[in-house]
A and B are shown apart, each in its own frame.
Chain A
Amino acid sequence: MDKPMSLSANADGLLRYRDDAPHEEPAVTLDAFLGQTNATAVRIEAGDDARALIPHLGQIALVEISFPSFRDGRGYSAARILREAGYDGELRAQGDVLVDQLLPMRRCGFDSFAPESEIDAATAEASLSRYENFYQKAADGVVPIWKKRHG
């Protein structure tokens, strides 16, 4: 995996893999966002349809996706759907986010993490750099093995 452009673990335990400044505006619910379309930060619950945001991606700077349990993998699909639609703002995983989930989350397009229990930045780094290559094309821009094999 490509190394993060910058890694900052701030006082709230937020891990960020972006070099712009963290977005200040609090995230509103998807319903609230769709009702008052001037918000710039939105929070997606696990069962929400991320596709509802697609018409508004240009005005959004932060999407926070909730993980009520690490076993609930709906947020991975939500993240990919947003990235595939061209969203390039901050995509944050919030909730029961554990160190072993960081890699698949990064691959699905998340670039910041607000875990409920703090993750040590060094452990995160080790876990993110263990695998050099991946079979699949995903949302992280990594060149998949299938392509590398054939030049």
Chain B
Amino acid sequence: MYKYDTYDQQMVDNRVEEFRDQVKRRLAGQITEDQFKPLRLMNGLYLQLHAYMLRVAIPYGTLDSRQMRMLAHIARKYDRDYGHFTTRQNIQFNWIKLEDTPDILAELATVEMHAIQTSGNCIRNISADQYAGAAADEVADPRIWAELLRQWSSFHPEFTYLPRKFKICVIGADEDRAAMRLHDIGIQMVMRDGVLGGRIHVGGGMGRTPMIAPEIRDFVPADDLLSYLEACLRVYNRYGRRDNIYKARIKILVHEIGADEYRRQVEEEFIAVKALGLDPPQAEFERITQMFADPAFVADDGTAVDRSDPDFALWLDQNVKPHKQPGYAIVNISLKPQGGIPGDATSAQIDLMADLGERYSFDELRVTHAQNIVLPHVRQADLYTVWQQLDAAGLAPANLDLISDIIACPGLDYCSLANARSIPLAQKITERFADPARQRDIGELKLKISGCINACGHHHAGHIGILGVDKKGTENFQLSLGGSGAEDVSLGKITGPGFDEDGVVDAVERVTETYLGLREEGERFLDTYRRVGMAPFKEAIYG
């Protein structure tokens, strides 16, 4: 894992002092809320429906047990004993007092954490594949490049007042577990003729105008990566629309001028920028790379995992994934219990996950964009005890990627922009599909709910997506089918007129039943939908 040096630490400490001063001026009435707003937003502090919400950055979703315990401590001391893991691999605390925020940030800084650039029209927290360093299909560890981008983007002087927020994702495998092409910039690290580099996609995103990022350059050598991104961002900063907030994301620029014209401008800018010597020295790549070296794996003794406990075996089959190292496995901890709030965890649960990460996963944990937690490096011999401890804490739902593994944004229960409540709907769906055997029969089905058109719940990328809209003052839900955030990326299509809360649960059930009736051997829901199209589903829902 990356460890701060004195430069990194000083940067974060200075930021705490700066924000303490800004809060002091606000509380003393020296600055107005209007003047304070852009300052607090630069530090991830939002004023929500009921209270301040603080979003803490978890760079590329990676953290150690000490950092995880700090999150539990903050939830316990400053919030209502829980935190909410988000689709951007961050954590949000929903009940924060303004006067506590400088102390919270100071506590976070003691464990190399911060809330820098978790909001505002700047480059946000970099996201990455949650199986980085553990996946068998990995070509390069994306965390190395995500960390480099974290540093490059922190207080970047030219890109702090972009037309709109800016999200970058890095993966290092062909399988896309991070919805890479639905980011403003999506980078896939690849090897070409023995040289490491990035395949660059620009202009993806969700929101009200979802788009899949086109490829802008098939290969940028690692040595040129930052200069190339600098060029991508500069073209956007200069020519991205600023007249309309809904048209200000880079996807609109790329769409309006076309990928070819955008590429031409970037390439021209890149020639100018590359000459400036902005890219870090080779020694810096090496320094960061060393920090992500493999942990001290022990040799596989070849013992097979004992599957005699049937509940454990179900969890093993659903939530545990193969590891690149023989004798190890990747454990997914589902934060989606039946009737629960997707992504929420109590302080006690966060502490327990920290303990397990420390003891059984080389002190490493990950947060996924699907709002779950990963223990990336667990010995197969330890899987049973890890499962037992998770199960005792309500952390062992065996539902990874099943219909109850729902992504949902905070919605109208918290969010001041929401049209509808996402959380109660997610809860109802998990109740309707409570039978685990039925869920397994339906198989992989990614259901995603957003409480408004901003699409924080990634509904466009859901195999089944649900969007909350406001229909003459009442909550209404639109259903869409066929989206995917994976390497087979696609955007969902709306089925037709919307539903009330119970109506949409019924509609989801009809969709799954139609699928079960139509599927051919080995087909997931998404495969069947792609083969047969919308018509039979529409017929089942509205017919």
Contact = CB atoms under 8 A, between A and B. Distances in A.
Given A71-B121, A77-B237, A131-B11, 20 more contacts: A71-B38, A72-B242, A73-B161, A73-B237, A74-B238, A76-B158, A76-B160, A104-B157, A104-B158, A105-B157, A108-B157, A108-B158, A131-B14, A131-B155, A132-B10, A133-B7, A135-B152, A145-B151, A146-B151, A146-B281
Interface residues of B, number: 35
Nearest to B161: A73
Interface in A88-105: 100-101, 103-105
Contacts of A104: 155, 157-158, 160
Contacts of B161: 70-73, 76, 101
Interface of A: 70-74, 76-78, 80, 84, 100-101, 103-105, 107-108, 130-138, 144-150
Contacts of A71: 38, 121, 161
Interface string B23-58: 000000000000000110000000000000000000
Contacts of A73: 121, 158-163, 237
> Which 7 pairs of residues, A with B, have the shortest CB-CB distance?
A73-B161, A107-B157, A104-B157, A146-B280, A150-B283, A135-B151, A76-B158
Interface stretch (B180-188, B271-279, B300-308, B420-428): B271-279
Nearest to B163: A73
Nearest to A67: B161
Nearest to A104: B157
B39 A100 contact: yes
A137 B276 contact: yes
Interface in B252-290: 272, 276-278, 280-281, 283-284, 287
B478 interface: no
Contacts of B234: 77, 80
Nearest to A127: B18
A145 to B, nearest CB: 5
Nearest to B7: A145
Given A130-B17, A131-B14, A136 B237 contact: no
A149 B284 contact: yes
A70 B238 contact: no
B346 interface: no
Nearest to B273: A84
Given A70-B38, A146-B280, A133 B11 contact: yes
Contacts of B38: 70-71, 100
B435 interface: no
B7 A130 contact: no
B246 to A, nearest CB: 15
A70 B272 CA distance: 27
A149 B18 CA distance: 25
B12 to A, nearest CB: 11
A146 B151 CA distance: 9
A72 B242 CA distance: 8
14 contacts: A73-B162, A76-B161, A77-B234, A80-B158, A101-B161, A104-B155, A130-B17, A133-B10, A133-B11, A135-B11, A136-B278, A146-B281, A149-B5, A150-B284
